[in-house]
Amino acid sequence: MIPGKNELIKAAKRIKPFVHETPVLTSSSINKIIGAEIYFKCENFQRMGAFKMRGSVNAILQIPDKERAKGVVTHSSGNFAQAVALAAKSIDTKAYIVMPFNAPKVKTAAVLEYGAEVIECPPTLKDRETTAKGIVDKTGATFVHPSNDLDVILGQGTAALELIEQEGDLAYIFVPVGGGGLLAGTAMSAYHFSSQTEVIAGEPFGADDAFHSLKEGRILPSLNPNTIADGLRTSLGNINFPIIKQLVNEIIRVEENEIVDAMKLIWQRMKIVVEPSSAVALAALMREKSRFFNKKVGVILSGGNIDLENLPF
Amino acid sequence: MIPGKNELIKAAKRIKPFVHETPVLTSSSINKIIGAEIYFKCENFQRMGAFKMRGSVNAILQIPDKERAKGVVTHSSGNFAQAVALAAKSIDTKAYIVMPFNAPKVKTAAVLEYGAEVIECPPTLKDRETTAKGIVDKTGATFVHPSNDLDVILGQGTAALELIEQEGDLAYIFVPVGGGGLLAGTAMSAYHFSSQTEVIAGEPFGADDAFHSLKEGRILPSLNPNTIADGLRTSLGNINFPIIKQLVNEIIRVEENEIVDAMKLIWQRMKIVVEPSSAVALAALMREKSRFFNKKVGVILSGGNIDLENLPF
């Protein structure tokens, strides 16, 4: 059921020319505050500012040439929109991005800047899906899902694979969970390349569908998610959930103020810009820090795309 | 008149155990916007968050052991206060920091956190100087000036020395100018180690004493400086000015909105936190970008200490 380790190695090799190998940073003051030895994998420094570039590139490169020439489609108002736009541009194909007409202008602008075509639609999931389907039918472009696609999951897993190569011997890796692509990919990388490493997800209480899904053993969709961590308002899917169920034992939920505090700590002490979703992983570690005393812990900082004019502090 | 290159090499060696070798980052999108090949020397990642750590460590290490055991004194409400506090702690001596009683609490807290003793005084330069003098008289501690001290200047110059080692062949290096320590040190490093590199300073119109001093050939103190770049409100001194006069040909002045725009660009595109003073160097480059088309340019990002609750955007 879990793809083999070669699948991850091949994905890493495939995407290499199109993504950055991001640095791993440490902060002695954060280590002191939390009491653990923390290695931050900085996907905020990834191209377009988030790990989503990895999965997007991998999925697009896996489309057969003839199909790929007709372009790719996705619907997203977040980082995956930018990721598909930039990946398509880098791979030299066309991207159609379906976005709700009320999406922040800064997000639409970023997608346009990467050369994609933006198609606006009403702001419901159904409208987004219908509009995307219409484009597939009309253009023959291939639809790429942000998180529930095995090639996307394998691509996202390369961040943890790199982290394990850069800093072996981690007792834990913390990641945020939203749609589940990063969590499933990270869990696969740890399983194959660092079996003693336990993967723990952080999730906002205000969007804790993954927590409940894992507990119940079946997907419970996210109902009215409400969190500052805008990347984590989505639900798990039938492709990533079985992987998560098999490989992940624990999801730690965090309060909104804990997310903001963790984000502020990262900005102040590390002098780097991360988005709220990124801070959820550190917030989870901080919430239960006594359990991780003196442990070697990896934290994946998932991205750094944030509207500087609407900061929570 | 200009200290020899060995002085810089010795300073770099002396401070090495106490400072970080900071990374040089690039941004393809900023390069594209400005039309130059820019190498950012990230002193915002320096210990305590600014280049001032370098000069502070160098100056304190140059005090004879017996004197140093009595401690060090400075007056500052900015990065130099934190730099002396952390340097003294690292070198295992005592720091007395004179700060105006109306200094932001966050700054006072940072200095206390590094284990220094804070002595509050009325918020005038005269009061600060008198209070510092009183401590010197009472304790025998050595006074360290933030910018007008040759050992401080040599220490600050090691940032450019590192940059030149990391990225040779720069046509220009841009730095902000406030008290003049960083500018004088950078100019010395370029003079000795990269003679084809021209050093250009950025300065806010609202605090353009260095611009006028260089033009007139004599120190004109800063009168009522008014700029968001709080690190640049100070004036040149009689030790750094002769070096600047001999080695620096150009200071480009920038408007406040240009500083904010440059700062925002760095945060958004590079995902790093820099303070307004840091952005002044990039703002100067941006203001006259056509002159630097396709050139290889170094920019020293001087620091990243900023109150996140009072951002200009």
Give the per-residue pLDDT at B104. 81
In three-state secondary structure terms, B180 is: coil
Give the per-residue pLDDT at B31. 98
Cβ-based neighbours of A153, under 8 Å, separated by 6 or more: A55, A147, A181, A184, A185, A188, A239, A240, A243
Q: B221 burial class (0-12, 13-18, 19+ CB within 10 angstroms)? A: exposed
Give the per-residue pLDDT at B106. 80
Residues in a beta bridge with A199: A173
pLDDT reading at A43 higher than 90? yes
- Residue A273 is nearest to which of B23, B45, B272, comparing CB atoms? B272
Least confident among A120-129, A156-165, B146-155, B203-212: A120-129
Give the per-residue pLDDT at A59. 98
| H and E: helices and strands count for chain A | 13, 10
Give the per-residue pLDDT at B175. 98
Residues of chain A with Cβ-Cβ distance to B22 below 8 Å are: none
Give the per-residue pLDDT at A269. 96
Cβ-based neighbours of B55, under 8 Å, separated by 6 or more: B83, B146, B147, B149, B151, B152, B153, B154, B155, B156, B181, B185
Question: CA nearest A305 in B: which residue?
Answer: B268
- pLDDT range class, residue B53, cuts 50, 70, 90: very high
CB contact (8 A) between residue A308 and residue B313: yes
Least confident among A220-224, B11-15, B180-184, B261-265: A220-224
- pLDDT range class, residue A160, cuts 50, 70, 90: very high
Amino acid, res. B279: A
Q: In what order do the strands lie in the sheet with B296-301?
A: B24-25, B37-42, B296-301, B172-176, B198-204, B250-254
Mean pLDDT, range B61-88, rounded to an integer: 96
DSSP character at residue B230: G
pLDDT tens sequence across A86-99:
999 999 999 999 99
Can you say whether the dihedral through the CA atoms of A42, A149, A305, A33 is positive or negative? Answer: negative
Domains along the sequence of chain B with CATH: 5-50+149-301 (3.40.50.1100), 53-143 (3.40.50.1100)
CA dihedral A76, A77, A83, A85 (to 10 degrees): 80
For chain A, state the CA radius of gyration: 18
Please tell me the total number of residues recorded for chain B in this structure: 313
In three-state secondary structure terms, B236 is: coil
pLDDT reading at A25 higher than 90? yes
A186-211: burial string, b at 16+ Cβ within 10 Å, e else? bbbbbbbbbeebbbbbbbbebbbbbb
Give the per-residue pLDDT at A104. 81
Minimal Cα–Cα distance from B168 to chain A, Å? 22
pLDDT reading at B41 higher than 90? yes
Q: Tell me, rounded to whole angstroms, the distance of Cα A105 from its chain centroid.
A: 22
Work out the angle between the directed axes of helices B150-166 and B181-193 (0-180°, nearest 10): 50
CB contact (8 A) between residue A271 and residue B23: no
Nearest 5°: CA angle at A152, between A43 and B25?
20
Please report the residues numbered 45 through 84 in chain B whose beta carbons come closer than 8 angstroms to any beta carbon of chain A: 45, 49
Is residue B89 a contact partner of residue B115, using CB atoms and an 8 Å limit? yes
Give the per-residue pLDDT at B266. 98
Question: CA nearest A273 in B: which residue?
Answer: B271
- pLDDT range class, residue A124, cuts 50, 70, 90: confident
Mean of the per-residue pLDDT values for chain A?
A: 96
Residues of chain B with Cβ-Cβ distance to A313 below 8 Å are: 308-309
> What global pTM score does this model have?
0.95
Mean pLDDT, range A59-88, rounded to an integer: 96
Percent of chain B surpassing pLDDT 90:
91
Give the per-residue pLDDT at A36. 98
B72-75 and B296-301 beta bridge pairing: unpaired
Q: With an 8 Å Cβ cutoff, is B308 touching chain A?
A: yes
- pLDDT range class, residue A258, cuts 50, 70, 90: very high
A206: tokens are 């205000």
pLDDT reading at A125 higher than 90? no
CA distance B128 to B117: 15
pLDDT tens sequence across B56-66:
999 999 999 99
Is residue B100 a contact partner of residue B233, using CB atoms and an 8 Å limit? no
CA distance B75 to B97: 6
Set A27, A56, A76, A77: catalytic member: A77
Amino acid, res. A38: I
Q: Which helix (H) or strand (E) holds A13?
A: helix A5-15
Set B41, B52, B107, B245: catalytic member: B52
Is residue A281 a contact partner of residue A253, using CB atoms and an 8 Å limit? no
- Residue B271 is nearest to which of A264, A268, A304, comparing CB atoms? A304
Phi then psi dihedrals of residue A2, to 5 deg? -80, 125
CA distance A89 to A79: 15
Alpha helices in A167-204 (DSSP H): 181-193
pLDDT tens sequence across B20-39:
999 999 999 999 999 999 99
Minimal Cα–Cα distance from B103 to chain A, Å? 19
Mean pLDDT, range B50-78, rounded to an integer: 96
Mean of the per-residue pLDDT values for chain B?
A: 96
Phi then psi dihedrals of residue B271, to 5 deg? 60, 40
Is residue A147 among the annotated active site residues?
Answer: no
pLDDT reading at B8 higher than 90? yes
CA distances to A18, A27, A83, A89, B34 from A115, rounded to whole Å, are 16, 37, 12, 7, 20
pLDDT tens sequence across A168-212:
899 999 999 999 999 999 999 999 999 999 999 999 999 999 999
pLDDT reading at A106 higher than 90? no
What are the CB-based long-range contacts (under 8 Å, 24+) for A109-115?
A110/A48, A110/A82, A110/A85, A110/A305, A111/A81, A111/A82, A111/A85, A114/A48, A114/A82, A114/A85, A114/A86, A114/A88, A114/A89, A115/A85, A115/A88, A115/A89
A117-121 and A95-100 beta bridge pairing: parallel
Nearest to B73 by CA among B52, B87, B94, B57: B94
Cβ-based neighbours of A271, under 8 Å, separated by 6 or more: B44, B45, B49, B272, B273, B274, B304
Is residue B28 among the annotated active site residues?
Answer: no
- pLDDT range class, residue B124, cuts 50, 70, 90: confident
The Cβ of residue A101 has, within 10 Å, a number of other Cβ atoms equal to 12
Question: CA nearest A312 in B: which residue?
Answer: B309
Least confident among A41-45, A247-251, A295-299, B233-237: B233-237
Residues of chain A with Cβ-Cβ distance to B268 below 8 Å are: 273, 308
Q: With an 8 Å Cβ cutoff, is A24 touching chain B?
A: no
Minimal Cα–Cα distance from B273 to chain A, Å? 5
Residues of chain B with Cβ-Cβ distance to A44 below 8 Å are: 271
Give the per-residue pLDDT at A222. 85
- Residue A273 is nearest to which of B23, B273, B309, comparing CB atoms? B273
Set B27, B56, B77, B235: catalytic member: B77
Is residue A170 a contact partner of residue A164, using CB atoms and an 8 Å limit? yes
